[in-house]
Structure 1
């Protein structure tokens, strides 16, 4: 028996796709917009029906501006698969898909991306995206004469606009209140969130200029200090480490056994500029910071590394992740994530110890003041278990798969804590190395993570939440410093004073000015009140008088 194919007009096909997207790919949106409402109250159902109708009409109207008999199927197929993809991550990790999240996706390399792919992802996309997209080719598309087709299309688009207004009008006060109090919920409406985020990224986003960066600190110069040895300062940029899980900050697990044995200064109240590497990394090296955040200015101006380089400081960026995001543009840099160092790079991805490989050569060949930045892979999720060697599987059982939802909360935390345990070991090894260089250099180290991480609290995983609504665990980051006796003496730094002040708030905004101060660079952009070492240099200077 032959089954006849149904026949539809283009407009009907678009409407059916819009209804499917709203019903099948937007569970996080409906859950958020209806949160706190009585599910049994007629008003709740009326509100939901009004929104569903309005958004279905809006999706249909916008799609009909582009859809023709020849483009409608490919267009809808892309939207269906996109909606299915983004809905998976919104459901699994409570991702809000805004411009920053789109930028994170664009910047993600294959090594990071493959850890976010799973059998569950493939199954989800096949069921909610690919199969409906294939079904688009089942019905026959009916045609109309050109003038009638134009009149019908105009009528549909006009009707869609009227339907949006008519649906929202009875619940407008409620809708306006929800949009005002839950502004970020719009980033959960798929696939409109992806379309809006990509448009904002490519057309409304600030970008790095094709030409030279605007100069920062044109007058920068190193202050000559008689008889002072050169400074070797290592800045470690951590990845996805959250302060809450550092035992140095009171966490009930011993995740920092090695740092606890060293004479470090632990800053307990440090906050990040953003909740993703794409935002935090350029921000923390800029003079603008979170306080005066201006994405366009940050991306178009030099970083503190350029200022230091201009003043005569040797600068080297060593990376075990996805690059410096323009912070080290034009400066010496080494990409270490695929260095193939024996014992450190299983499956093509290196552990962070690779950043120490060859560091003795770098230091030996340097002349004068040297700043080395080590950009960690750190605790980058969701595959926390891939971030540390077998010797650091101390908290067990640990989640050892990329799909976090298949692990218990305890297993996820165990794997994450093991990654912090390895970071603790890595930092301790670095400090021990710096001690061996004290015969030639005054040495010091500063560690600061780029952002934190959610481990399932309130249903949130990973990071990248919009900053205004991001939980504290994504913004409260660990920050640890170590200073050799030679550095403290030459810098007139009272380390005890600094330790006594370590509970005071600090942030990424302090990094720019602290680095200038550490490397003895004077510039008009330097703000001493943002240099975290200044108050305790003044104490030493007064005591010496």
Structure 2
């Protein structure tokens, strides 16, 4: 460090140090922020020039002021917080720059709910370089810097003048407030370190509020004793655009396209990330309150409920039979338990052995989750080539990326077909399958990747999803819905299983 930056190892005034580190923060972590501003603002006009300069100065001084406050109160605490923020900001900036994500409350929820398998799939040399260059190296200097502090009087004067300057800057930009208000979600999601610090706080405040005791729904009754089974398959990152059932030019649904009694509808998700999509699928209405979810409700009302998952991000599930991949592997007789086919292992026997006439099976898959699409299906399903094998999606051609993703849809087609064939063997049951995805996926369109953008700015690829239904009885028809939402699932399941409930809404039922 001394050889590289001999002038930086000398004693430095606290104000100069705070400004220097804020400048590093601005240069290292705000390329996407500044690119967004220039792409969405007429920067050649007077107001545009004023706003660009004001945002640049505000970013520089606000972070410097924050560093200054913490360092004055405690150099140890100040340095510790700066080291933590530089390292986290280097990781956050990698994902912002690589996948064009916005770090809002929803994205924080995705990060916190991510398990080891998904997190490890993002590992790359480029990520290590970001951490090393923009996180570790600045942190070494922060730790070693000899800071000259100031007296309380000078601290108070500096603080007062800075606050007055901020007020003046805000007043001068009064004509630009509407533009800032329009883009506040995106701007806030790209400012480091505030994008993740503020939204982590917002996430846990919301989680604390939502973790109150769930609101129980009114008791339900079973209208008949007819043996019925419905399998709800919740897909992961499946977008309808790449299903040949919906008109895609490549044949990604060779099996389902030949399946009788199959219906499919255009649909949209409630959100572009898993936790919100799952909540919307499993609750009776769209609400921020924590209502009893579908599996818990039916289990409490004498329906046999089984939940099998290779995924995560699920609401609290309170049922007897909950099986993740680890629980399913011991009984799996296939070659490789790393793929979603494991969800079908022993399922027919499990349904047949049920002591109830009404059975709900929920399968939560992970088939189309990025960035490693090519690892989500067995090699024999690599129909479209060449494929992208890198976690750096922008390093692949769009053809390679889409081919890898399309192969996950081909595998999904196989899984759903296999499930339907399994249900056909249960002659004593009236059977149905519903497949709906939690959200869609971006595959390089408009230079966007994966999912998680706020709905207000998300492209249609991230929320237009498949809604596919199969029924065993050829006489049973579905309503001619032009478009569905995830809210239709709850009430359709109640209808098919003959569950009578005060909260049932016929207009959200798909079955005739």
User: What TM-score comes out, normalization by structure 1 length?
Assistant: 0.87
CA contact (8 A) 1:6 1:138 kept: no
CA contact (8 A) 1:51 1:168 kept: no
1:219-368 to 2 correspondences below 5 Å: 220-224=220-224, 228=226, 230-289=227-286, 293-294=287-288, 297=289, 300-322=290-312, 324-326=314-316, 328-336=317-325, 339-340=328-329, 341=332, 343-345=334-336, 350-367=338-355, 368=357
CA contact (8 A) 1:270 1:479 kept: yes
Q: Deviations over 1:302-322 (max 9, x none)?
A: 112222223211011001112
Question: Of residues 18, 21, 26 in structure 2, which corresponds to 1:14?
Answer: 18
* Equivalenced residues, count: 502
1:337–1:273: structure 2 CA closer, same or farther, 3 Å change rule?
A: farther
Does the residue aligned with 1:215 lie in a helix, a strand or coil?
A: coil
Question: Of residues 438, 456, 463 in structure 2, which corresponds to 1:450?
Answer: 438
Residue 507, structure 1, aligned to residue 485, structure 2:
yes
Question: Of residues 385, 388, 392 in structure 2, which corresponds to 1:396?
Answer: 385
Deviation at 1:344, TM superposition (A): 4.8
CA contact (8 A) 1:321 1:376 kept: yes
Q: 2:105: which partner in 1?
A: 99
1:131-142 to 2 correspondences below 5 Å: 131-142=137-148
CA contact (8 A) 2:367 2:408 kept: yes
Q: 2:204: which partner in 1?
A: 202
Deviates more, 1:14-23 or 1:243-252: 14-23
Q: 2:51: which partner in 1?
A: 47
Does the residue aligned with 2:456 lie in a helix, a strand or coil?
A: helix
C-alpha separation between the residues in 2 aligned to 1:261 and 1:14?
66
Question: Of residues 398, 402, 415 in structure 2, which corresponds to 1:426?
Answer: 415
Question: Of residues 190, 201, 206 in structure 1, which corresponds to 2:192?
Answer: 190
Deviation at 1:301, TM superposition (A): 2.1
C-alpha separation between the residues in 2 aligned to 1:121 and 1:521?
51
Residue 29, structure 1, aligned to residue 12, structure 2:
no
CA contact (8 A) 1:270 1:476 kept: yes
Q: Which runs of 5+ in 2 are unaligned?
A: none
Question: Of residues 74, 79, 95 in structure 2, which corresponds to 1:73?
Answer: 79
Does the residue aligned with 1:166 lie in a helix, a strand or coil?
A: helix
1:102-141 to 2 correspondences below 5 Å: 102-141=108-147
C-alpha separation between the residues in 2 aligned to 1:214 and 1:39?
50
C-alpha separation between the residues in 2 aligned to 1:331 and 1:161?
57
Residue 58, structure 1, aligned to residue 62, structure 2:
yes
User: What TM-score comes out, normalization by structure 2 length?
Assistant: 0.93
C-alpha separation between the residues in 2 aligned to 1:524 and 1:401?
50
Deviation at 1:27, TM superposition (A): 1.0
C-alpha separation between the residues in 2 aligned to 1:91 and 1:446?
37
